[in-house]
Amino acid sequence: MVELVETPIPDLVVLRLELHEDSRGWFKENWQREKMLAAGLPDFGPVQNNMSLNAHRGATRGIHTEPWDKLVSVATGRVFAAWVDMRQGPSFGEVFYLEMGPDTAVFVPRGVGNSYQALEDGTVYSYLVNDHWRPGINYPALHLGDPTCAIPWPIPLAEAEISEKDHANPTLDAVTPVAPKRTLIIGANGQLGRALHDQFPDADLVDLVADTPRGVAALDASDASALAAVPWRDYSVVLNAAAYTAVDAAETNDGRVAAWTANATAPALLALAADEHGFTLVHYSSEYVFDGTRELHTEDEPLSPLGVYAQSKAAGDVAVGTVRRHYLLRTSWVVGEGRNFVRTMRDLANRGVSPAVVDDQVGRLTFTSELARATAHLLSTRAEFGTYNVTNGGEPMTWFDVAAEVYARSGRARDDVARTTTAAYADGKDLAPRPQHSVLNLTKLEATGFVPEPALRTLARYLETLSES
């Protein structure tokens, strides 16, 4: 049985471990992933286990703020352990301490300084960490006797065994706080990428083509060597908004290659990086991964893509689904900044054109602002990792319904839009197959506390922005 106890330092938790004792001594599960995750410990992905022997009572180490998460525990003996939050934010300088024996472990998040004092000869202290130690790593350290923190060491520091290096550590007023890990947006030039930047204004931005005035750097996410040069450990979240979305062009020889490169190869490489470096990968998919024979699509529906674009997106979904920390957001009928169906209908209405629009494909609009808002919600609430359907709310509509609504809100009559069928519209054209039913079930998303805004409400606001531009 593992019991987690929260502390005044955010995300620093104490674990009470079960010791199985008999005449020979004791046995404990120092790290048991399944049980500890069930108890509420984050899945921090440890890769290295370090041990420290403290030969004499009074040996004192720290306060060190290595750039990784760790689970610390005592193999034998006892320690007085103390932690100081050295992260940017309101908890900077917060102190927590306790006495530890073999029955206690503590999860220490990145940016929190760790220290301890051996209370018995032959004490062994263990560190389970989620990054490899390498020479030359610099990190903040704090003087053990810092007067602001005022840690009540049981053995006075004047009588303790302390290294020269730790004697030289600065006081808290001279420590540069540890900056939080950052967010990276891939595909920042696209309509979704721009909406994500509005939601995450401090994020780093990359795309296939650089946009220097906007601060967008060039990165080909399908190039393994280019990805290898990215400092992934600096990021806690990577939002992959890059995609090839030319559904019909994907059916051509060149388009097929481009679609698979952007929609399958790049997500697969990002999936490998996410698991290696421990960041959360957010990837955006499409209802096109389904053939549209079901009227309502749930997250667990088997993949059944029809065309090349759909097949490439489905391949990306499979790759991202293997990542420990991932959100796969499946959406439909996306509208945002730039060219899209709503803008096209608005332009036609303003020009006096009366189009024929298909009335046998059913779905919901998804505005990029709503998709970005849902992304922020899932991340901030730490919702369970996995796949989520994300669209605007309200009653499902056909493309004809959307067009008629745009016309009505543009001062034109609804019957200025004519109805047609998918088959009639496609006659004589080289078009990719499209799902007839694109409505996504939003129950799982709503269960996280997210309330999708009705599509018509967002549509009205979007059309107002078009009028102003």
Is residue 326 annotated as a catalytic residue, yes or no? no
Strand partners, 81: 98, 116
Question: E strands along 145-212, which residues?
Answer: 182-186, 204-207
DSSP-assigned states of every residue in 202-230: T-EEEESS-BGGGTEEE--TT-HHHHHTS
- List the structure tokens of 248: 């019909």
Q: Which residue has the tokens 């016309």?
A: 407
Q: How far, CA to CA in Å, does 332 sit from each of 191, 202, 406?
A: 14, 27, 18
DSSP H stretches of helix in 2-156: 33-39
Strand partners, 376: none
Residue 299, burial from CB neighbour count under 10 angstroms (0-12, 13-18, 19+): middle
Is residue 235 annotated as a catalytic residue, yes or no? no
- List the structure tokens of 433: 């197959």
Q: Are 124 and 73 in contact (CB under 8 A)?
A: no
Q: Are 354 and 417 in contact (CB under 8 A)?
A: yes
- Tell me how far apart the alpha carbons of residues 450 and 442 are, in angstroms, rounded to a whole number: 10
Cβ neighbours, 10 Å, residue 195: 23
Are β-strands 95-100 and 326-331 bridged in parallel, bridged antiparallel, or unpaired? unpaired
Q: Are 81 and 106 in contact (CB under 8 A)?
A: yes
- Tell me how far apart the alpha carbons of residues 142 and 62 are, in angstroms, rounded to a whole number: 7
Catalytic residue, chosen from 116, 125, 127, 407, is 127
Catalytic residue, chosen from 64, 139, 277, 425, is 64
- Whether residue 63 has a cis bond before it, omega within 30° of 0: yes
Q: Which residue has the tokens 């104490």?
A: 14
- Tell me how far apart the alpha carbons of residues 349 and 406 are, in angstroms, rounded to a whole number: 8
> Among all residues, which ones are annotated catalytic?
64, 127
